Copies of this chain bind each other. A is one copy, B any other.
Amino acid sequence: MQDNAQPAVTISAIASAAGVSIPTVSRVLNGRSDVAPATRERVEVLLREYGYRRRGAGRPTSSGLVDLVFNDLDSPWAVEIIRGVEELLNTEGLSMVVSAIHRRGGSGSTRKWLDTLGARPSDGAILVTTDLDSFLHAELQRLNLPLVVVDPAGVPDLEVPTVGATNWTGAVTATEHLLQHNHRRIGYVAGRPGLWCSRARLDGYRAGLDAAGIAFDAALVVGGDFDYASGFAAGIELLTLPDRPTAIFAASDQMALGVYEAARQQGLRIPDDLSVVGFDDLPEAGWASPPLTTVRQPLSEMGSLAARTLVRLIRGEAVESPRIELSTRLVQRASVRALHP
């Protein structure tokens, strides 16, 4: 780091001296509460004795800059999170540096991004990710920055404070809404494979059906990738089944809009011939025709909470919980019709 003299003391030296693991030292540094009090005290004493100092900690206005980091800036929900983070930082008189890792450019671009970050002051970073890889995570730890993850994908067990949303509960709510409107054959368009949020939403859909005593039918579940094209393809697949569903729940708004187009091409009107529910509540959901009923993820609130949490870490205050999930809620618009019971 160029902005201040950085002692050579490493986290691993502290861990070794304290007789604990490196992740345990990280937990203490990250203000997590899941460390035994005696262990925490021993680590904190050693951190002080060794003169370990992280950048930013306890010096809230050292640079006045906080980093907000995306994998890529092409996500439609990026601007929602940007707005939430900016609003909170603005009230604290802090400035927000937005960057994208551009991992599509390969590991060289990640390296370049880390170099740029390391070459200037920063008080801390908020990372927005759907799949935090271990290389990047280790590099960020090495920079010694206070770190908070906004994690719509729901990766569990990160070593840093995390803000997410209630993916499972949201999917239960959407499924129950369709059941209450007497739908029994409910198609499901799943999210990107391998992500925790995709798993949680699928499980929520299954739990909703199960609670209503409806058998799970694998033929009604089609894989997607969160984007419009995969929603369209899944919609065509579901709507050309011999016994097609009367309703489709898609694990993202973009996929739900793809289902809209699939329905149109099949000559089906929404909601008369097909009910649709999405997930996210991007602005686009309200601009669809008909306006889309969807599960709202409070993305800008998640951004604000992440920023507030980071400011606490920067000030050396403890953080109550290593993971906070903000609640989702159903936003009813005009894409669901009640069937006769």
Interface residues of A (CB under 8 A from B): 63-65, 68, 73-74, 76, 78-79, 82-83, 86-87, 90, 93-100, 102, 112-113, 115-117, 119-120, 228, 254, 257-258, 260-261, 263-264, 283-284, 286-291
Q: What's the Cα separation between A98 and B102 when bound, in Å? A: 18
Known contacts A95-B99, A287-B228, A287-B254: A78-B79 contact under CB 8 Å? yes
* New A-B contacts (20) at CB < 8 Å, excluding given A90-B99, A228-B286, A263-B289: A64-B120, A65-B65, A73-B79, A73-B82, A76-B79, A78-B79, A79-B79, A79-B82, A83-B100, A86-B98, A86-B100, A90-B102, A90-B113, A90-B116, A95-B117, A96-B99, A97-B97, A228-B287, A261-B289, A261-B290
Question: Are the C-beta atoms of B97 and A289 separated by less than 8 Å?
Answer: no
Question: Are the C-beta atoms of B257 and A289 separated by less than 8 Å?
Answer: yes
With beta carbons under 8 angstroms apart, the residue of B78, B86, B102, B288 that contacts A99 is B86
Q: What's the Cα separation between A223 and B291 when bound, in Å? A: 23
Please name all residues of chain B whose beta carbon is closer than 8 Å to the beta carbon of A87 when the two chains form the complex.
100, 102
Question: Are the C-beta atoms of A96 and B93 separated by less than 8 Å?
Answer: no
Known contacts A64-B119, A257-B287: A73-B99 contact under CB 8 Å? no
Closest chain B CB from A294 CB (angstroms) = 14
Question: Are the C-beta atoms of B90 and A83 separated by less than 8 Å?
Answer: no
Q: What's the Cα separation between A153 and B260 when bound, in Å? A: 33
With beta carbons under 8 angstroms apart, the residue of B90, B97, B287, B291 that contacts A96 is B97
- Which B residue's beta carbon lies closest to that of A282? B284
Closest chain B CB from A75 CB (angstroms) = 8
Please name all residues of chain B whose beta carbon is closer than 8 Å to the beta carbon of A68 when the two chains form the complex.
98
Known contacts A73-B83, A283-B76: A97-B264 contact under CB 8 Å? no
Closest chain B CB from A242 CB (angstroms) = 24
- Which B residue's beta carbon lies closest to that of A77? B79
Known contacts A96-B99, A287-B228: A86-B73 contact under CB 8 Å? yes
Closest chain B CB from A86 CB (angstroms) = 6
> What would be 19 A-B contacts, judged by CB atoms less than 8 Å apart?
A64-B119, A78-B79, A79-B82, A86-B100, A87-B100, A90-B112, A94-B116, A95-B116, A96-B97, A96-B98, A97-B98, A98-B98, A228-B286, A257-B288, A258-B287, A261-B289, A264-B289, A284-B287, A288-B288
Closest chain B CB from A322 CB (angstroms) = 28
Question: Are the C-beta atoms of B116 and A64 separated by less than 8 Å?
Answer: yes
Q: What's the Cα separation between A79 and B257 when bound, in Å? A: 20
Q: What's the Cα separation between A68 and B86 when bound, in Å? A: 12
Q: What's the Cα separation between A284 and B83 when bound, in Å? A: 19
Closest chain B CB from A269 CB (angstroms) = 9
With beta carbons under 8 angstroms apart, the residue of B63, B264, B288 that contacts A290 is B264
Closest chain B CB from A173 CB (angstroms) = 24
Closest chain B CB from A282 CB (angstroms) = 9
Please name all residues of chain B whose beta carbon is closer than 8 Å to the beta carbon of A82 when the two chains form the complex.
73, 78-79, 82, 98
